[in-house]
Amino acid sequence: MKINILPKALVILLLTVTSASCRKDLLNISDPNTFNYANYFNTPDEIRQGSTAIYLSFYNNDMMGFQWPEMFDVLANEAQPSLPALANEPMVSALWQYQFENTNTVIGQFWKMCYQMILRSNLVLDKGAQYIARNGDDNAHIVSQSMGEAYFLRGYAYFQLAFYWGKVPIRKTFDQSNNINAPRAASADDVWAVAEDDFKHAQTLLPAKWDDANVGRATSGAATGFLGKLYLFTQKYTEALAQFNALSSRYSLLPGSQWEDNFGETNKNNAESLFEVQFQWFDGNWWLAPITVSEGINNLPGTQSGRQQLYGWNDWGNWFFPSRRVNDFVYTDEAGNSYTDPRAQLTFYGGIGAMTWLNKSPNGPKPYDFATLGYWYKKILNKEYKETENNLQSSNDLRLLRYADVLLMAAECKLNLNDVPGCMDLINQVRTRIGAFTYQKTYSKDQAFDLLKRERQLELMGEEHRFDDLKRWNILVETMNIETQALFGAPRVSAKHLMFPIPLSEIDTNLGLGTVNDQWN
């Protein structure tokens, strides 16, 4: 039989080809779409991107542009749900009714927001430290400034956690591989200590002022203000006052005529503002972004505020101004005459509030139909120049700390340090600006405290401070039970409402958490 060499040769050839092609590095594929921890955050610009992303936590998880203001407004009875809110926002409505369940998603998302800020901050601190260790120097200060922002925002997050939850897990490094199931801190003081330390680092690393392109980032003044606030909240009045005093040369109250700039879409990050969450509508923004998630949807940014849409009577109309609050603006002057605070006109529409709207619009002014509408907010809306918000097209920043608040907090320090005249001076500064009469009489410490409480309430109404104030003054239960009795026919508040429950989502996932008493906190 003839021997055919061809098939044998062919097999050998093909075998060689298919085997030789199996290169050793065949499997060494790098990700063509996405950078990773190792190959990113290694340059100052990349590290600054890392610090920018921390601010995004404010948007995420339905927070600053949506449910965070609603939550603290209803807890202080500074906003009430309308029928659409009751039907569509049961979680915030539950808080209004003082039902604090550990399944409440608003509380859960607030928790998640804080820890997201902590993770994103830890990433910047970790990679920033690596950069400085590697390069020795940071000439342009971009890395150290970014680390300052990370310290500030991490401090802010731990401040929230310490104040609302007390004992919480502490995560201070990016690598948590040995602390995944983190236990709760031994005490709230440990958590406060982290925040205090972070604000101090931030004070030294952050600039007092940013260049025009970076305005809106945290400043050393913001760190000082929050450090002072932390001391006040932990009853360290001397330390607090020192911080607040350091701010007097750097911030000032806006003139009364510019009061709206503290809440509006223009003149943001002004002389009165220490720190604010930035919101901006751009054409092409993804319109629902801020009330769901801002990141990752088709790469379209969602940087606008949802609040104006939610609080406007001819927008979504979810939250109206409670009639009980109207009465707070009427009190007696030092002569014993009934006095209506000028801020009533600035804070809400209806009754003793503003009775015309669109005063700064070519279409206005229009009479406010109080009989049909009742009371709605004015100070946080844009109804003086904008008829509607046209699909969440609002650019109002959320001011987390402004100088009027600092002055009143300083006043509180002085009061607690028994400097009643000093306290009244600071209160009067705030009143003078807005054209309210000033207190000239001599007051006892208790009387001064009552006036301070009123001042904070009227100056800061709708700015999510009253719940905090009542809570830290330890008068939340007694004060809010009068109001819940009136609203619901029964007192709803008890001592346990001083703390938020640890979210069930954390209890279900964090095996090292430790005991959470009584399904509470």
Partner 1 sequence: MLLNALYKMSPPGGIYNQIVKAVKLTIIFLTIALLHANAKGLSQTVTLSGKNMPLRKVFSEIKKQTGYYFFFSNKLLKDAKPVTLDVRDMKLTEVLNLCLRDEQLDYVIESKTVAITRKVETPQPPLVQVPADTLREVRGRIINSRGEPVSNASVIVKGTTIATAAHADGVFSLRMPVDRHELLISSVGYQNISFRVGSSNDVLVTMTENTLSAGEDAVVIGYGVAKKSDLTGSVSTVNIKDIGDRQNPDLATLLQGKVAGVDVNSGSIRIRGVTSFNNTDPLVVVDGFLGETMATVNPNDIENIEVLKDASSTAIYGSRGANGVILVTTRKGKLGDPKVNINFNSGIATTPKKLHVLNAAQYIDFVTEGMNNAGQTVTPKLASPDVKKDVTNWQDEVFRIAHSNSIDVNFSGGTPKSTYYVSFGYKEGNDIVIGPKYKMFTSRFKNDLALRSWLKVGTNLALTYRRDEGARPLQAQYMINMPPYIPVKDTSNYWGYGSINRQTDLGDNVNPVASSALTHPSVTELDYQGNIWAEITPFKGLVYHVQAGVSGFWNRGAIWNDKYNDGSGSTVLNSYTENSNYNYAPIIESYLTYSRRLTRHDFSIMGGNTWQSRSDYGGIAIQGQDFANTDIRNVFYAATRSITNENQGTYAAKSFFGRLNYSYDNRYLLTVNVRTDGSPRFAPAHRWGTFPSVAVAWKLHEENFIKNLAIFDQLKLHASWGISGNDAIGDFRYLAQVWTNGVYYPFGVTPTLTQGATVLNDASDDIKWESTTSKAAGLDMGFMRNRLNLTAEYFIKNSNDILFAVPRPVSLGYGQGVTDGNAIVNAASCVNKGFELTGEYRDRIGKLNYSVSANYTHVTNNVTSLGLGQPYLDVVSRTDVNHPIGYFYGYKAVGVFKTQAEVDQANQSARAAALKQNPSLSPADLAQIYYQLATTKAGDEKFKDIDGDGRVTDDKDRTNIGNSIPKNLFGLSIYMTYGAFDMNIFFQGITGSQLFYMGYGQTRGMQAVQNQETYVLNRWHSEQDPGNGMVPRAVMGDPAQNNRPSTLQVESGNYLKLRQFSVGYSLPANATSRMGFSRIRLYLSGSNLLTFTKYSGYDPEYPSTNLDRGFQYLDFPPSRNFSVGIQVGL
- Which one of 76, 120, 148, 408 is in contact with partner 1 (CB under 8 A)? 120
Cβ contacts of 421-428, under 8 Å, gap ≥ 24: 423/448, 423/452, 424/448, 424/451, 427/451, 427/452, 427/455
Report the half-sphere exposure of 53 (CA within 13 A, side-chain side): 17
Q: Please, are residues 256 and 186 in contact by the beta-carbon 8 Å criterion?
A: no
Least distance in angstroms from the C-beta of 151 to partner 1: 16
User: Among residues 465, 479, 503, 521, which is the contact residue for partner 1, using CB under 8 A?
Assistant: 503
Could you say which residues in the range 283-302 bind partner 1, by CB under 8 A? 283-284, 287, 292-302
Cβ proximity to partner 1: between 118 and 346 the closer is 118
The interface region with partner 1, picked from 101-109, 230-238, 414-422, 432-440 by CB under 8 A, is: 101-109
Residue 93 or 144: the one with the smaller Cβ distance to partner 1 is 93
Is residue 474 at the binding interface for partner 1, with CB under 8 A as the rule?
no
Assess 160 for contact with partner 1 (CB under 8 A).
Answer: no
Site for partner 1 in 54-93 (CB under 8 A): 54-56, 60-61, 83-84, 86-88, 90, 93
Q: 10 Å Cβ neighbour count for 473?
A: 14
Dist CA 394 CA 407 (whole Å): 29
Residues β-bridged to residue 320: 80
Helix/strand/coil (H/E/C) assignment for every residue in 287-340: CCHHHCCCCCCCCCCCCCECHHHHHCCCCCCCEECCHHHHHHCEEECCCCCEEE
- Stretch in the footprint of partner 1 (CB under 8 A) among 164-172, 185-193, 323-331, 443-451: 164-172
**Which of 42, 46, 190, 245 is the binder for partner 1 (CB under 8 A)?**
46
- Nearer to partner 1 among residue 217 and residue 414 (C-beta): 217
How near is the Cβ of 448 to partner 1 at its closest, in Å?
31
**Binding-site member from 33, 249, 337, 372 for partner 1 (CB under 8 A):** 33
Answer for which of 65, 69, 108, 462 binds partner 1 (CB under 8 A) is: 108
Q: What phi and psi, each to the nearest 5 degrees, are found at residue 357?
A: -135, 175
> Which of the stretches 115-123, 219-227, 335-343, 373-381 binds partner 1 when contact is defined by CB under 8 A?
115-123
| Cβ-Cβ contacts under 8 Å for 324 (sequence gap 6 or more) | 77, 483, 486
Question: Which residues have a Cβ under 8 Å from the Cβ of 102 and sit 6 or more positions away?
Answer: 108, 501, 502, 503, 504, 507, 519, 520
* Pick from 421, 356, 251, 321: nearest CA to 78: 321
CB count in 10 Å sphere of residue 490: 8
Q: Which part of the chain contacts partner 1 (CB under 8 A), choosing from 332-340, 357-365, 449-457, 497-505? A: 497-505
User: Nearest distance from residue 55's CB to partner 1, in Å?
Assistant: 5
Q: Which of residues 167-206 bind partner 1 (CB under 8 A)?
A: 168-169, 171, 176, 180-182
15 lines the binding site for partner 1 (CB under 8 A):
yes
Give 22's Cβ-side CA count (13 Å radius): 5
Residue 494 and residue 492: Cα distance in Å, rounded? 7
CB of 52 to partner 1, least distance (A): 3
Task: Name the minimum Å distance from CB 103 to partner 1.
Answer: 7
Identify which of residues 108 and 228 has a Cβ nearer to partner 1 in the complex. Answer: 108
Q: By CB under 8 A, which span of 46-54, 133-141, 353-361, 423-431 interacts with partner 1?
A: 46-54
Gyration radius (Cα) of the chain, Å: 27
**Angle 285-288-293 from CA coordinates, rounded to 5°:** 95
Write each residue from 258 to 287 as x if it is in contact with partner 1 (CB under 8 A), else as -, in one continuous string.
Answer: ----------xx--------xxx-xxx--x
Shorter beta-carbon distance to partner 1: residue 246 or 516: 516
Q: Which of 32, 59, 50 is nearest to 297 (CA)?
A: 59
Q: Can residue 220 be called a binding residue for partner 1 (CB under 8 A)?
A: no
Q: Which of residues 342-371 bind partner 1 (CB under 8 A)?
A: none
Sites for partner 1 among residues 402-461 (CB under 8 A): none
209 vs 445, which CB is nearer to partner 1? 209
Binder of partner 1 out of 43, 52, 340, 345 (CB under 8 A): 52
Site size toward partner 1, by CB under 8 A: 120
Q: Residue 308 in contact with residue 390, Cβ under 8 Å?
A: no
For residue 308, which of 399, 402, 377 has the smallest C-alpha distance?
Answer: 377
**In terms of CB distance, is 98 or 192 closer to partner 1?**
98
94 binds partner 1 (CB under 8 A): yes
HEC readout, 422-444: HHHHHHHHHHHHHCCCCCCCCCC
Stretch that binds partner 1, among 17-25, 193-201, 407-415, 427-435 (CB under 8 A): 17-25
**Closest Cα partner for 96 from 77, 68, 69?**
77
